[in-house]
Amino acid sequence: MRALQSDGRMTATALAAEVGLTVAPCHRRLKDLESSGVIRGYRAEVDPAQVGLGFGAMVFTTLRETSQETIRAFEDAVVAQPQIVEAYRLFGDPDYLLRCVAADLPAYQRLYDEHLAALPGVAKLTSTIVMRDLKGSGGLPV
């Protein structure tokens, strides 16, 4: 798992050599990890600045109420917004942490005014601008 987290494009042959197995059992273990849901998928890591989305903000979000209907509507709207690239429901206050990307500050202001403030059930939004990404979404310590 550690090897795949750092190189998801690694071939089964290279993975087998890395972990000290032959290809057949390595491939079988890999398929078992995929089918059991331990490995959820594979993706490319894209540099936000290189695709015009170099501005990042963490948005702490508090809802007016936490009924199941409000939570469902809020979460559905968050999932549907492509500029919200990560979202976490939290215990305590605030209720959610959203990581958003935009081209620049004016683009983020538009996202904030037109989409974030309009999310269902929102009582309060507090934004913190990301200065620098030190670690990113690194692998798990497995």
Contact 89, 95 (CB under 8 A): yes
Domains and CATH numbers, the chain: 2-35 (no CATH), 48-129 (3.30.70.920)
Q: How many C-beta atoms lie closer than 10 Å to residue 89's C-beta? A: 13
Q: Give which of 59, 64, 31 is closest to 116, Cα–Cα.
A: 59
pTM equals 0.88
Question: Helix (H, G, I), strand (E, B), or coil: what is residue 28?
Answer: helix
Average pLDDT over residues 102-128: 98
Question: What's the pLDDT tens digit per position in 72-92?
Answer: 999 999 999 999 999 999 999
Is the pLDDT confidence value at 139 over 80?
A: no
